[in-house]
Structure 1
Amino acid sequence: MFKSIQKFLIVAISMMLTGIGASLGIKAAVGVGAWDALSLSVSGVIDMKVGTFSMIMNISCVLLQLILLKKEFKINHIVQIFVAVLLGFVVNFMIYDVYSKFTIDSYWMNVLLLILSVIICAASISVIMAINLVTFPLESVCMIISKKINKNFGFIRQFVDVLSIAIALAVSFLFNESITVREGTVIAMILFGPLLNVFMKLMMPKLKSARLVE
């Protein structure tokens, strides 16, 4: 019981760190990941906080899982709603209450902020993946769809990214919003995978020694 509580707390903290990292990337304003770019573009058009819209999108992913799985929908899928709400609140708090208090005019400083954002996200997500208590709603629904239609998960996930970028760009051009898909999007795509692998190798032995991972 104690180990379960410990796992839950570590995952919750890691989720919050993920939100802090993601919002730092948004603050850098040199381009964000595909899913975040979609949230940022649409939330700007409908005048909604980006964390709130991201929360809605993630909860929609959970609802889609319910539709697809029906009776196979389990408690670990419901917990993803907590993930969606927590991430949304953290992103809103960091962007509108913390990061809004300072401005960085240097382009290269903003690029460094983006890189720091990717590092924070990779480190925190590696812990979440290693403990494997709960997954992110988007990744979970992509996995379910890949199994339902017998397609590779990577293909489905990449398709969602391409679709998200296309919609984000369309929204930006149609409504004269700031373009959220930029060089930072490419930088994040290049850095995230390798960094995630590095942190997985670093975190796994520590988590195993603490008996949080088998």
Structure 2
Amino acid sequence: MRKRVIDFCWLCIGVTLISFGIALMNKSGLGQTAYSGLANVVGQIFTIKNGTVLIYFNIAFVCGQIILLRKGFKALQLLQVVVSYLSGILVNFFIYDFALTSGLIPANYAMQWFFSILGNLFISFGIAIVMVTALIKMPVEAFVQVLSDMIKQPFSRLRTLVDVLCIAVGISLIVLYRLSFSSLREGTWVSMVLLGSSMGLTFPLAKKMIQRFNSVLLKKEQV
């Protein structure tokens, strides 16, 4: 039971890092990840905060899993709803209310890239922590995994397709509603490459860190 509680705490830490990374990419002005970038565009159209749109998107993907799996959907995966809500609230907090990021305006193009890359690294490390805990996946990845298992297509191919669709829909909406391209710019394309490649570094680091902390915490329980 204690192990499950510790894993949930790590899950919350991972979600916090992901949300902070999304906020940094938002403030960079060079574009966000394809998924959060689309959420930002939709938010501009309907005058809804970025994190709030992400809550709706993520819960929609959880509902998609329930529809596809039906009785095969495990009750533990309902934690995705909690994570969706927590993530959205944190994204809103870091973008609009947190003193260090709410008023962040990069001084030049180089600083824009600095915050964009830093945001990617925070997201990558947060995702790695979520993966190591193995409690749940993030809603998008979980939905894609379910779909991958059902139609026998590689997860990586389907996940990339989701990103491409997000970019295509996002750009179409930007043109249609004459919005700023700040949500989907060159940083978005770099993110598609950087997030995946950086996992080779962040995943082993997160795994080692969590194992070390867990061994100490669980030893205390045994004593």
TM-score, normalised relative to structure 2: 0.90
Match of 1:125 in 2: 127
Structure 2 distance, partners of 1:30, 1:205, is: 32
Structure 2 residue ranges without an equivalent (≥5): 218-223
**Following TM superposition, by how much is the alpha carbon of 1:145 offset from its aligned partner in structure 2, in angstroms?**
0.9
**Following TM superposition, by how much is the alpha carbon of 1:203 offset from its aligned partner in structure 2, in angstroms?**
2.5
Match of 1:140 in 2: 142
Q: Which amino acid aligns with 1:12?
A: C
1:43-58 to 2 correspondences below 5 Å:
43-58=43-58
Match of 1:184 in 2: 187
Structure 2 distance, partners of 1:141, 1:186, is: 22
Secondary structure in 2 matching 1:134: coil
Structure 1 residue ranges without an equivalent (≥5): none
Structure 1 stretches of 4+ moved >4 Å: none
Deviations 1:152-172 (A, max 9, x none): 111211111111100000000
**Following TM superposition, by how much is the alpha carbon of 1:12 offset from its aligned partner in structure 2, in angstroms?**
0.7
Contact 2:34 2:166 in 1 (8 A): yes
Give the number of aligned pairs. Answer: 212
1:1-214 to 2 correspondences below 5 Å:
1-98=1-98, 99-179=101-181, 180-209=183-212, 210-211=214-215
Structure 2 distance, partners of 1:34, 1:11, is: 23
Secondary structure in 2 matching 1:96: helix
Structure 2 distance, partners of 1:142, 1:208, is: 28
**Following TM superposition, by how much is the alpha carbon of 1:129 offset from its aligned partner in structure 2, in angstroms?**
0.6
Structure 2 distance, partners of 1:181, 1:8, is: 32
Q: Which amino acid aligns with 1:70?
A: R
TM-score, normalised relative to structure 1: 0.94
Match of 2:220 in 1: none
Q: Which amino acid aligns with 1:51?
A: G
Secondary structure in 2 matching 1:12: helix
Structure 1 distance, partners of 2:105, 2:201, is: 32
Structure 2 distance, partners of 1:188, 1:101, is: 23
163-172 or 142-151: bigger deviation: 142-151
Q: Which amino acid aligns with 1:33?
A: T
Structure 2 distance, partners of 1:203, 1:96, is: 28
